[in-house]
Chain A
């Protein structure tokens, strides 16, 4: 079956003040219809650049190489006019900070109506706006529609952004850290909403987060990114229960539910490398307590662990010493 979204050898290079940054370094992935894939990584790992290049929202100064195929058509080299028809209709996106992405001077109604009218000029816009707001579980539809973004709470704003994204029933929803700026309780509500909508509308979803625990509820598959590359990809169960890459271990260990020590939290030492001049070998090696000598010299290839599970670490090589993952699950109390 043809996947809904296929990214092949994507490379993104930004121009920054101190030189060109290789934000995404040769990433390939596939997303099936109705599937939820989570991209997890620290800030600066290139997950946002990856999703933005799928939507082609990167600034003109960013150089993008490789292929992004949506339903088999190349998005990256499509003329702007065709692209506009895809955006909103075939794929849409929600963002980290809903207050920032909503236009501060336009009412919620106008902003949603605009998206509706754009893809279906014949629709009864008023009716559809109300439907959409009900779809994202907003109780007082009329009041919300007449409000300006700054009059709403953070959770409400994110719902409005979601309503805009769903206006033309997209096949693919990209959610870029949709709950990072929200309170924990609101985060749970938004995740719930995303989950139920995803199931009801059978939307493929690309969920981005820096927090592994946030994606556990939604993700069918998880890809862990570090320094512009995917280091491990597999089903959610494989990633959470049989992680193979030391970076995934580190991410899991730093979560309170996993820490081996009741007292001390595990903290990954150091900071991510700048991608202006990425190191020759595994970019994670300098922070990796299980680094092998070869990690400093040669980039590890993907090792296949199962049909769906791949990890880019030399530890999976037959010649490498066996390491027991330093994980002790304590969650569930």
Chain B
């Protein structure tokens, strides 16, 4: 008498299951919301503003935050609340334009260097290194001389032209790395042309890191604009931006008008932190593996 449980039934092949999906990084929702809360009103500044940001109400200079002036007024009697949104738009525009220019330059020079013959690569990277060795603010000061009066546009160009160096080095290393990839090699063997490789293999794999670099570039451009305007070498006082608002801060210190110093700076800081968070997410930094220590 045989036990049915001991009947030979053999293998029951299961479909080869693919390993499960990697755990994705949670997108930084709260950061995105916070950033939207700053950026959207900036874009729609006209709707949000309560007063004309350029109007100097000399009767109300350095008014502390109150119901009428939510964020107070500066030493020229301008309403800081309105200026924040209006100036934010200008700061972000400068950052954006400068990033576009710098990214384009970095892409061109970095990939040229990676794909060019060795001597040209060495020369390009050497020049990049030399330009990198001068604090970029100094280069900006030189370049600004070309434009007598700074405008949003000229400042963006200057910041763009001085911002590509670090990025182009990274682009070069990335492109070199990708070029040596086995899947690129495989595609080349199958007869993929240069442009095919560029379009189908290089670009899709390159875009995430490019996005990260661009975001970081945006951060430094916004910061540079603020620094320059603060010192009085960026946007003039009449062109309201977060930086030019802060150029009044040093005088405000004497009267301990903290709101003139703190509020534009806080907006600047929060925006930059949000941007950095998003940049880090784009790069998908994950420490691989377990620590052995």
Q: Which residues of A contact B (CB under 8 A)?
A: 17-19, 57, 59-62, 269-271, 274, 276, 285-294, 296-297, 314, 317, 319-321, 323
Contact = CB atoms under 8 A, between A and B. Distances in A.
A62 to B, nearest CB: 8
Dominant secondary structure of chain B at its interface with chain A: loop
Contacts of A60: 291
Interface in B271-290: 290
B177 interface: no
B11 A289 contact: yes
Dominant secondary structure of chain A at its interface with chain B: loop
A293 B9 contact: yes
B20 A321 contact: no
Contacts of A286: 11-14
Given A286-B11, A293-B9, 9 more contacts: A17-B22, A19-B20, A59-B290, A269-B11, A288-B11, A289-B11, A294-B6, A296-B12, A321-B8
Interface residues of B, number: 23
20 contacts: A17-B22, A17-B23, A18-B21, A269-B11, A270-B13, A274-B17, A286-B13, A287-B11, A289-B10, A290-B8, A290-B10, A291-B8, A291-B10, A291-B11, A292-B7, A293-B6, A314-B6, A319-B5, A319-B6, A320-B6
Closest 8 CB pairs of A and B: A59-B290, A18-B20, A294-B5, A17-B23, A319-B6, A319-B3, A320-B6, A289-B11
Given A270-B14, A271-B16, A319-B2, A291 B9 contact: yes
A293 B7 contact: yes
Contacts of B17: 274
Contacts of A292: 5-9
A18 B19 contact: yes
B292 interface: yes
Contacts of B191: none
B117 interface: no
B135 interface: no
B180 interface: no
A314 B8 CA distance: 11
B238 to A, nearest CB: 55
A296 B17 CA distance: 19
B4 interface: yes
Contacts of B291: 59-60
A18 B24 CA distance: 10
Contacts of A293: 4-7, 9
Nearest to B9: A293
Interface in B257-273: none
Contacts of B2: 319, 321
A269 B11 CA distance: 9
Contacts of A319: 2-3, 5-6
Contacts of A296: 9, 12
A291 B20 contact: no
A71 B3 CA distance: 45
A35 to B, nearest CB: 29
Contacts of A59: 290-292
B9 to A, nearest CB: 5
A226 B176 CA distance: 42
Contacts of B11: 269-270, 285-289, 291
A291 B5 CA distance: 11
Given A17-B22, A18-B20, A18-B21, A287 B13 contact: yes
A274 B14 CA distance: 12
Contacts of A317: 6
Contacts of B10: 288-291
Contacts of A287: 11, 13
A270 B23 contact: no
A321 B9 CA distance: 11
Interface in B1-51: 2-14, 16-17, 19-23
Contacts of B12: 285-286, 291, 296
A60 B290 CA distance: 8
B5 A321 contact: no
B262 to A, nearest CB: 42
Nearest to A60: B291
